[in-house]
């Protein structure tokens, strides 16, 4: 792997802007409950049109619950999002370290096999969460 190109002041400014935006979004998600505030958050078009739950349905509510330390409630809203959150955090940290130091940390989740496994998991989760006998009553 080659190290990333030398960062310019624009790269740093963009990174800081992205970090500030992410922190702002996290603060909004912490303080504004998606379960009760319908005007500020987007709605799922698939759920609105068909009544079916997509693999992402409940993710905002799950992240809101996690930000308050309610793991069980978050799991009921979207277990796949809760399971994938550590992977997403690891990938973000890995990229940040690579951009900041040029050092690449190990990570097998970037191999193509894991991308295909993720797609398969998303499809399976999307199907299984719409089976009436398995459907959660939390949504």
Q: What percentage of the chain has pLDDT greater than the value 90?
A: 49
Tokens of 27: 């603060």
Cα 57 from Cα 78, distance rounded (Å): 7
Using the predicted structure, report yes or no on whether residue 138 has a pLDDT greater than 80. Answer: no
Q: Are 63 and 81 in contact (CB under 8 A)?
A: yes
pLDDT value at residue 96: 74
Instruction: For residue range 81-103, list pLDDT tens digits in order.
Output: 999 999 888 888 887 777 767 77
Residue spans per domain, the chain: 9-128
Cα 66 from Cα 51, distance rounded (Å): 25
Cα 72 from Cα 37, distance rounded (Å): 21
59 or 7: which leads in pLDDT:
59
């Amino acid at each position: 792997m080659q190290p990333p190109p030398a960062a310019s002041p624009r790269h740093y400014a963009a990174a800081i802007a992205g970090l500030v935006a992410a922190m702002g979004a996290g603060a909004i998600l912490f303080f504004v409950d998606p379960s009760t505030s319908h005007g500020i958050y987007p709605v799922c078009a698939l759920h609105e049109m068909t009544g079916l739950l997509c693999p992402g349905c409940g993710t905002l509510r799950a992240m809101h619950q996690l930000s308050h330390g309610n793991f069980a409630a978050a799991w009921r809203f979207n277990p796949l999002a809760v399971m994938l959150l550590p992977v997403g955090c690891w990938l973000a940290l890995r990229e940040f370290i690579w951009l900041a130091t040029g050092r690449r940390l190990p990570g097998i989740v970037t191999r193509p096999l894991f991308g295909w496994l993720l797609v398969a998991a998303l499809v399976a989760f999307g199907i299984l969460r719409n089976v009436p006998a398995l459907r959660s009553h939390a949504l």
